[in-house]
């Protein structure tokens, strides 16, 4: 076990001042545009999640805790208090693995705090402009906390480990905490963050996944515990070793380094999906003629679950099933990973034809790049080799609203009409002075009947 150096904190409130004092007008136009795209993409994740079984667990938890109040949550008529709304929606935000990510933290910052931030925004009835501003400061602080955590503990943490920090940051801003109170909430959240390991959830997929729900709930409780008088001193971004991360706040925007996910599965499977779909289409391959597919990729991807999934979580945290589904169906979206889509005999047959091999050259480029190359062999012996593929939606692709809209329409087409899609997209790109509470209520007029029909 690593010997951890004594902790020295230098509390100068630089992080807290950035969180509390940043205004929409202070933010560069490119970052404002990215915040809008993130808002749509995060709501997309919540909408999909609201139609799954994990969200049902979150709702039962909030109800069982008696956490009722006046805050609306996506897809249900029930309303909760801040903790209950956070607990419910954090069980939806990552449940279909469609949310944004950041290569260098190997995780998903947006999903880690969106539940708490959205809950606080509705409780305080803030404008959409203030919500978007809070998303920006939450991304910036969450990603920096993650970078510090990975370095300090020297092992691969899941998203929940730093999600509490981001939740306390964003919700703390919206709830009007002083910088001393916010420092306290951030310190409690970072200290109690669930230090879960991603590789365990990769090898044994379940609703535990990336630890998002417990991280968000820790962040919400850290804020409430602060208001109740509990004290905590210091967090990693106040250590001299990590001051450079705090010093870059408001100068370098990590939100611009996000990637976005076109498929409802682990990012590590995305390059293989893209390589297979492109190779099959460009060569007019009939998937029924495929004898074998070999995927050459990085080591962590080869460790993803490969068995026939028994539930949606095993389908998403799986490298073989999403690739097989994409080969047969040409896509991997909600329809392919929801419970009803897991029994397709052609997809299950394709599973047995896949092989995943570690490629040393590709491994050397991970995690900055997630690459693969594939080889498709037909039953007649013909072979097709792909070039190296990276996943679509990387930071270098400069993802914009048009990209996010196309994704939203493609994946929600199985549950929403074109008119419903347009209404939601218009709401999320409309008047910045609209209260977030009203936006959620209008989305719910669409999603409550849709969710009831699906479930």
Find out whether the peptide bond into 367 is cis, omega within 30 degrees of 0: yes
Instruction: Answer for the pair 272, 116: CB distance below 8 angstroms, yes or no.
Output: no
* Residues 6+ away with beta carbon under 8 Å from 208: 196, 201
Provide Rg for the chain, Cα atoms. 21
* Overall fold of domain 267-385: 60s Ribosomal Protein L30; Chain: A; (3.30.1330)
For the chain, the domains span 14-257, 267-385
Strand duo 290-297 + 372-378: pairing: antiparallel
Q: Count Cα neighbours of 217 within 13 Å in the Cβ-side half-sphere.
A: 17
Q: Please report which helix (H) or strand (E) contains residue 378, including its range.
A: strand 372-378
Task: Express each pLDDT in 105-134 by its tens digit.
Answer: 989 999 999 999 999 999 999 999 999 999
Instruction: Answer for the pair 316, 265: CB distance below 8 angstroms, yes or no.
Output: yes
DSSP class per residue in 166-208: HHHHHHHHHTT--HHHHHHHHHHHHHH----BHHHHHHS-STT
Question: Tens place of pLDDT for every residue, the chain, 455 residues?
Answer: 455 566 778 889 999 999 999 999 999 999 999 999 999 999 999 999 999 999 999 999 999 999 999 999 999 999 999 999 999 999 999 999 999 999 899 899 999 999 999 999 999 999 999 999 999 999 999 999 999 999 998 877 789 999 999 999 999 999 999 999 999 999 999 999 998 776 677 677 788 788 999 999 999 999 999 999 999 988 999 999 999 999 999 999 999 999 999 999 989 899 999 999 999 999 999 999 999 999 999 998 998 889 999 999 899 888 999 999 999 999 999 999 988 889 899 999 999 999 999 999 999 999 889 999 999 999 999 999 999 999 999 999 999 999 999 999 999 999 999 999 999 999 999 999 999 999 999 999 999 999 999 98
Q: What is the pLDDT of residue 1?
A: 47
d(CA 338, CA 391): 22
Q: Among candidates 164, 189, 168, which has minimal Cα distance to 177? A: 168
Which 8-state DSSP code applies to residue 309?
A: P
d(CA 118, CA 95): 17
d(CA 397, CA 257): 10
CATH class name, domain 14-257: mainly alpha
Number of H helices, E strands in the chain: 21, 6
pTM of the predicted model as reported, rounded to 2 decimal places:
0.94
Instruction: Answer for the pair 309, 269: CB distance below 8 angstroms, yes or no.
Output: no
């Amino acid at each position: 076990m690593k010997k951890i150096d004594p902790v020295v904190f230098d509390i100068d409130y630089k992080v807290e001042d950035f969180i509390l004092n940043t205004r929409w007008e202070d933010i560069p136009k490119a970052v404002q545009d990215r915040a809008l795209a993130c808002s749509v993409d995060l709501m997309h994740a919540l909408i999909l999640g609201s139609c799954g079984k994990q969200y049902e667990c979150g709702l039962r938890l909030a109800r069982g805790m008696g956490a009722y109040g006046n805050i609306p949550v996506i897809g249900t008529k029930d309303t909760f208090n801040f903790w209950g709304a956070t607990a419910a929606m954090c069980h939806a935000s990552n449940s279909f693995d469609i949310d944004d990510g950041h290569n260098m933290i190997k995780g998903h910052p947006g999903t880690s705090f969106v539940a708490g931030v959205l809950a606080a925004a509705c409780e305080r009835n803030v404008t959409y402009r203030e919500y978007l501003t809070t998303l920006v400061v939450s991304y910036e602080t969450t990603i920096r906390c993650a970078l510090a955590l990975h370095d300090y503990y020297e092992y691969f943490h899941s998203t929940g480990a730093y999600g509490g920090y981001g939740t306390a940051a964003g919700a703390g801003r919206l709830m009007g905490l002083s910088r001393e109170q916010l420092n306290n909430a951030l310190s409690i959240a970072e200290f109690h963050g669930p230090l879960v390991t991603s590789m365990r959830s990769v090898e044994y997929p379940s609703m535990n996944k990336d630890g998002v729900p417990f991280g968000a709930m820790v962040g919400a409780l850290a804020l409430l515990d602060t208001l109740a008088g509990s004290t905590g001193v210091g967090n990693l971004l106040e250590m001299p070793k990590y001051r450079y991360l705090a010093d870059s706040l408001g100068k370098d925007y990590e939100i611009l380094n996000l990637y976005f996910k076109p498929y409802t599965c682990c990012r590590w499977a995305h390059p293989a999906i893209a390589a297979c779909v492109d190779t099959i289409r460009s060569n007019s391959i009939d998937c029924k003629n495929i004898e074998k597919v070999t995927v050459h990729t990085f080591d962590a991807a080869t460790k993803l679950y490969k068995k026939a999934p028994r539930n949606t979580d095993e389908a998403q945290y799986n490298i073989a099933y999403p690739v097989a589904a994409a080969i047969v169906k040409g896509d991997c979206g909600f329809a392919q990973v929801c419970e009803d889509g897991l029994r397709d005999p052609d997809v299950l047959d394709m599973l047995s034809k896949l092989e995943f091999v570690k490629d040393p050259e590709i491994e050397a480029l991970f995690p900055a790049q997630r690459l693969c190359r594939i080889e498709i062999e037909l039953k007649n012996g013909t072979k097709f080799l792909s070039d190296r593929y990276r996943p679509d939606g990387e930071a270098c692709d400069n993802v914009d609203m048009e990209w996010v809209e196309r994704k939203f329409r493609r994946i929600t087409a199985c549950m929403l009409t074109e008119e419903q899609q347009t209404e939601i997209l218009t709401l999320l790109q409309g008047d910045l002075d609209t209260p977030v509470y009203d936006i959620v209520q209008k989305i719910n007029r669409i999603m409550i009947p849709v969710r009831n029909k699906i479930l």
